[in-house]
Amino acid sequence: MISADMEGATGVTWTDDVVPGTEQWQRFRRLFTGDVNAVIAGLTDGGATDILVNEAHSSQRNVLLEDLDPRARMLTGRHKPLSMMEGIDSGVDGVVFLGYHAGAGCDGVLSHTYLPNQITGVWLDGVPASEGRLNAALAAEHGVPVLLVSGDDKTCEDALDYAPDAATVAVKQCVSRYAAICLPPSRTSADLTVAATRGMRLAGRGTPTTTAHHIDVEFDASHLAQAAAVIPTVEQTGVRTVGFDAPTMTDAMKAFKIVTAIADGAVQGKYG
């Protein structure tokens, strides 16, 4: 399975590159699809016989199906129960985090966690958590290893902590949140294919690890914490923070999705 996000794709450095409907987004859809195809080629070279690509960015309708490597299937569209990780419970033997990025409050190109700007920090069981860390914990609950993580150099550094055995590919080097030293697609494609082949050595379901988890979320404004705290089981723990417990990582991620949706709906114009 490939969980395909876009902020960490080849060449992406600023907002318009990933916002559906812009001219830049149309351009980077092609580069994004190229990254996906490069990984499909590598996974196939490594022995994969069935590859599911789960669109994981924004509208989740970004990869160009007409240009997708025919050896893969694609899950596209929003409102999936497990969102970025939909399909992880379908018996897959490994997952690739493609086009990922650093977490909210951290240095990295377009760094964020779920919401583009309103969340300033997320912690999983007391540890700062990017989308990669959250999704890796969900994969572990199903005994699925992380095979490969791609994104900028900050993303790869983060992955070394939550998925130390996974292959990593830095397609760009972070200069700031909106600037990076980028490699051309011909180079990143080759790197992604080689790394995906190497990552397949980790493929194979292990023992599922199901444990209770605690998630804390920090927002950039107090009214967002107040809005999220109306959710049963979610407690406002500070002026701008909420926290909640969940019996499994699946439940934790579903609750986190609700928290982000409520908070996003409470944003008002330029003042947030």
Return the active site residues.
112
57 labeled binding residue: yes
Distance CA(60)–CA(250), nearest Å, equals: 20
Q: Write down the H helix ranges in the chain.
A: 23-45, 131-141, 153-162, 185-199, 222-228, 249-265
How many angstroms separate the Cα of 135 from the Cα of each of 32, 56, 127, 145?
20, 11, 14, 11
DSSP 33-51: HHHHHHHHHHHHHTT-S-E
Annotated binding residue 157: no
Q: Is 7 annotated as ligand-binding?
A: yes
- CA–CA gap between residue 45 and residue 27 (Å, rounded): 28
Closest CA to 38 of 121, 89, 99, 119: 99
Annotated binding residue at 101? yes
Distances (CA, A) of 43 to 46, 55, 147: 5, 17, 10
Measure the CA–CA gap between 144 and 85, rounded to whole angstroms. Answer: 11
Q: How far apart are alpha carbons 46 and 226 in whole angstroms?
A: 49
Binding site, annotated residues for Zn(2+) = 5, 7, 57, 101, 131
Binding site, annotated residues = 5, 7, 57, 101, 131
